Structures are given as structure tokens and as C-alpha cells.
Structure 1
Amino acid sequence: MQAPQVSLKVIFTVHFVLTVWSGMCVFPTSYLLTQGVILAFEFWAIVNSENPEPIQMGLLTQLVSIVLDIVMISVHSNNYNYSLARFCLAMAVINLIIKPFTGFVLYRIYQERGGTQPGQYENIDQRNEIETASPHEIIDKVP
């Protein structure tokens, strides 16, 4: 098994466990929807191991979810006082803390799969050859 596939499976498992534990409470549906979309993209990346597209979509969704998680945790942190809610909130915070690290790993896997960054120059025909200009050949023979 390749190292990126193992990394993806570990990331998926950690996010899955933390999402389940943080979802045991009465958090908004938007939180579970966002986490579910991230898990779906990570699962798609595991199944489709050659394509950089699922990694890119998962990485973008994860970046957006960091902001959404901060808002959700800050809004709902004072609403619950019982121990299960504190546990769920703690798991959501841990999930939020590990997202930049897993995002970095996802970005490295994205680069290994051949993903390109915006603004990076690519040849139209997708070759890695550098074409150089040469002077025109003289077609007519000199008399």
C-alpha cells in the first residue's frame, strides 16, 4: 500500500471518529453537513487514488469549514452545560485544531498526484518539453 493512501485513510478515520463524537450533541445540521461533505471527498480520494480532483475539492471544503467551525463553536459554546455537550464541543475543537495539519498533508498528496496550483504555467499540449525558436531554413538554393 502506498504511503499517501495510508495517510488518506488515517485522515479519514480521525475525521470520521471526531465527527461522530462531536455529532452526538445537538449541534446545527450545517456542522454535520459540512463534516459529511469533507468525509465524502476524503472517501472519494481514497477510492479514486490517481485523480487529484477529490483532494482539491476536499482541501477547499476543509479550508471553508475551518471558518464555519470557528463560528459554530463560538456561537454554541455557551448553550450547553451538561457533560455530554462539553465532550461533543471538545471533540469539535480537536477536529478544528487538526484541520490545518491534515490540510497540509492533503496538499502534499495533491501535489504528488499531479495537481497544479492556480497561476502555474502549463503547456497547452501538457508536455514538459521546452520549445525553442530556430531561424528559418532557406528553401531556395542560391544560384
Structure 2
Amino acid sequence: MGREELLSIWQLEEMSPVDYHDIGKAETEDTPGHCTMGAQFFRNLYETKTTCFAEQIFCSVAADLCRFHHYRYDGKDNPKMVSGQDIPVIARVCAVANAFDHLQESGRQPDEAYENICKESGILYDPAVVQALGEAIHQ
């Protein structure tokens, strides 16, 4: 997507905020509040435990990722009607990656998973992120 500079900012040593997108979600339940719980966890960590600028960036990005990764690109059915480019880019990327991962876990091949995601491009998912996924899997 031409945003490679963000990767180094988002990382903290070997950790990525994407690794924590479902923090607060138990494996056995589908808790709708897990986004809020994860965002609050990283906000609290930011306010009480961070000791350097890199940690602050990581916690801030992780909080946004946790909070927004289930928001629809079209803005429907989310609490604040946040949509499109107002959803943080890391959350838009995670939404597509998360859907792709879940579709593959359910037995779909990469092309089939991508086709399913394409059907929701501009509705659930950022079209630029969907396009980038297509380019990545068809290289």
C-alpha cells in the first residue's frame, strides 16, 4: 500500500499491535465488548507503564487497532459512525487480514477467501487494503 514506513513505527522489538487485536476476547465466547476491553487495556498501559516514546506509540496504535478493527468501512452498525479513512489504517489492514485468516481457517483456499473479501470491499473493508491483499496473494 506504499506505507512501509509505518511498519517500523508500529513495531516494538518483535511485537506488533496486530498480535493483540483480540485481547480481552476469550477463545470460547464471542464477546462484543472485547474491542473496548483491548483498547482500554492499552490506554491504561500507555498512561501508567510506558517508559519511552516507542512504547507510547505501540500502546497508542494498539489501542486504536483493538477499538476499530471490527468497524465497517461504510460506517454502518458502529457506535460512532466512524467510516472510511477515519478508521485508523492499522485497523483497516487488520480487518482484512483477520477476515482472510478466518476464511482460510474455515477451509477456503486463498483465491476463494480473497473473492469473498472482494464482495465486501467498500462495505466492510477498505478497497485499497483489499487490492493490496490481492496483489500480495497473486504475486
TM-score, shorter chain, exceeding 0.5: no
TM-score (norm 1): 0.27
TM-score (norm 2): 0.28
More helix by share: 1
- For the pair shown, the structure with the greater C-alpha radius of gyration is 1
Which structure exhibits the higher relative contact order, with contacts defined as CA atoms closer than 8 Å and separated by 6 or more residues? 1
